[in-house]
Amino acid sequence: MMILAVVAGLLWAPGQPEGNTDFWQHWGDGKGELSSYRVQVSRYGELRTGWTVLVFVTEDISRTTRLKDESGTLAPAERVPVLKLNRVTKFTTGIYDYALMSSTFSSINPELGRPAFEPLKLSFSAQDWCGQVFQLLLPQRDQVELTLHSYFENTGDQMQNLPLPAHAAFEDNLPVWIRELGGEQMPVGERRELQLLPSAWSVRAGHGKIAFQPGGIFKDEGGTVQTALGKLPAWRWQWQVGERTETYWVEQAYPHRILKWQSSEGSSGELQKSVRLPYWQLHGNADLPYRDQLGLPR
């Protein structure tokens, strides 16, 4: 049975040593994991068909600035390895398009008195033909620094600090956390109560307030999930924030890819393709065929 303790207001699952061999054997190959999904997104009271790509990749960021170490000159004490999740979603609403992107930087090792795979930085942007929004969250030891820039009057420009409550979690980080890439986070059948910060897109779409809300997360057997890659045994994760419930099915075998998701509001996603590539190098016109590997339009 896993022993749980509360550290700095967040739930601690022991383990995740800095020399985690299993993690680095898979994620230290210099490639990113790209997975494409056919999605339904609820917007303006209707479901819209689109696609999402989840990009998981390791990189180093600065402990002070939270910026990527592109030069490779950071001192070892300043360098923090993270697992980055870029979540890119595109869909059409009538005549115009939506483009959403969230970036979550989860520390691979314990940081700021919190366990591994908790976020050090979360950013979000949304663009449509009406305007654009950018949001940045920087979790600290006892608070979260929020910066928001928006075209829309009801949100406007904001800079504030949010208190970090006990049992805090960030919904935009949960797709990283539930993959249990450093070891089991929760045993099957367990439920935990949380103070959950809703995803940036759910706040934007619902014109809500950026604030932690009571919620909970549960893990159980997910059965066998039929995907475009075949039938795969899965764990089923479900969390609730406010009146909304999100359900994710995660592959039981390592690396525990996300197979599908479904929201009580009707949104959903189903895995289509998954590849490992050094995608940041594949930006030439000659690299367009790689989109075919992901089933994406050129």
pLDDT of residue 10: 39
pLDDT of residue 21: 65
Say if 4 falls within a structural domain.
no
The residue with tokens 């979260």 is 144
Say if 79 falls within a structural domain.
yes
Say if 215 falls within a structural domain.
yes
Say if 282 falls within a structural domain.
yes
User: Using an 8 Å Cβ cutoff, are 55 and 34 in contact?
Assistant: yes
pLDDT of residue 16: 38
**pLDDT by position in tens, the chain (length 298):** 233 333 333 333 333 335 566 799 999 999 999 999 999 999 999 999 999 999 999 999 999 999 999 988 999 999 999 999 999 999 999 999 999 999 999 999 999 999 999 999 999 999 999 999 999 999 999 999 999 999 988 888 999 999 999 999 999 999 999 999 999 999 999 999 999 999 999 999 998 899 999 999 999 999 999 999 999 999 999 999 999 999 999 999 999 999 999 999 999 999 999 999 999 999 999 999 999 999 999 8
Residue 261, exposed/middle/buried by CB under 10 A (0-12, 13-18, 19+)? Answer: buried
Those residues with Cβ within 8 angstroms of residue 91's Cβ, 6 or more apart along the chain or in another chain? 39, 41, 43, 48, 49, 50, 51, 97, 98
Say if 198 falls within a structural domain.
yes
Say if 17 falls within a structural domain.
no
Partners of residue 219 on adjacent β-strands = 237
Domain hosting 132: range is 32-293
Give the Å distances, CA to CA, from 271 to 35, 74, 197, 237, 274.
Answer: 7, 37, 26, 16, 8
pLDDT of residue 154: 81
Alpha-carbon span 226 to 229, nearest angstrom: 8
pLDDT of residue 142: 95
Specify the number of domains making up the chain: 1
Say if 11 falls within a structural domain.
no
pLDDT of residue 153: 84
Say if 1 falls within a structural domain.
no
